[in-house]
Structure 1
């Protein structure tokens, strides 16, 4: 399989089934409880198919991670197309807290598994930061967000919220932090 040749439809379905299965297992927090070959059985494909698409557990985790990042970047673009940039930014940030809460197992699994794969994490983080940068810049151009704050600060807040997910009352505190950030980003009138 080459990177520039698309997969046959049946191969793409099997790859998608493996990714969906991995994501479900990640969400449940049971990723480390399974043998790698079990992903093939759960997805309804052969082990050869698993290894052809994802030769290692890390390769499977990386593909799930990149899928998550792509979905977040797409969400940012859709929100930006549907509403003013400041509103899109607020909706995205609040949605990220919802996403973190709904997929705690996924976040823990990916961060544990990929802790040593800094290149993969860095590439995904850059893609997401680029999308957030575009959104913040659009809000600055609209005159609704201060020009002296960049997307790096917004990303730092999201990382901090994610890192604190084990705190009691995490969800309410995360919502409060997003409110503080949005208030702080607002351009003074």
Structure 2
């Protein structure tokens, strides 16, 4: 952004603010044309700043994803790897439920060797993987669990509960059920 003119920077900021409001109201399918109308610019201006819907959504969710990543870093310093991982996943589920459009945005196939095109997903993976690895090393999580399994679980819970009367409570209930299972065994349960 350093080389941008001040009016271009202001347009970008206004587009992003309008996009945040539209995504909050309409989810990941928010209309790019409506965003342009709200800001008072042409759709080409929106596309110049955000060439794809995914790039726009990535910018909308970037700060909040950054907070989740920082939370993972702090939790990684805790002594109980299972609790740290589950606390972080619970936060991811709760945020995915509360931030309309995020769960849909995070639905993607595991990355390939292609260049990174999903920076929020990549940031979450970079933040959550150390928590998962430590929990696996401590024997608190089965060794075949992957970060993508956990992301799919979190996204699935958020998508399954988004139209529920009380999505946050229902998501928490389903998260607990997924962690503890439908038939818990006595003693500490592994994820």
Q: TM-score range by the shorter chain?
A: 0.5 to 0.7
Matched with 1:18 is 15
Deviation digits for residues 124-182 of structure 1, max 9, x if unmatched?
434423432211112233x2613424233322211221231345364433212322343
Counterpart position of 2:102:
107
Give the corresponding residue for 2:171. 174
RMSD: 4.1
The 8 Å contact of residues 23 and 64 in structure 1, kept in 2 or not, is answered as yes
Structure-2 residue corresponding to 1:77: 73
* Structure with the larger helix share: 1
Count of residue pairs brought into register by the alignment: 174
With over 3 angstroms needed to count, the CA separation of the structure-2 counterparts of 1:125 and 1:57, relative to structure 1, is: closer
Structure 2 residue 150 is matched with structure 1 residue 158: no
For normalisation by structure 2, the TM-score amounts to 0.63
Equivalence for 2:37? 38
Change (3 A) 1:34 1:108: farther
Which ranges in structure 1 are unaligned for 5 or more consecutive residues? Answer: none
2: CA distance, partners of 1:74 / 1:123 = 15
Q: TM-score, normalised by structure 1?
A: 0.63
More divergent stretch after superposition (172-181 vs 61-70): 61-70
1:45-82 Cα offsets, whole Å, 9 max, x none, are: x6586454235655423433555544433332233246
Unaligned runs of 5+ in 2: 109-113, 182-187
The question of whether the paired residues in 2 share the 8 Å contact of 1:54 and 1:60 is answered with: yes
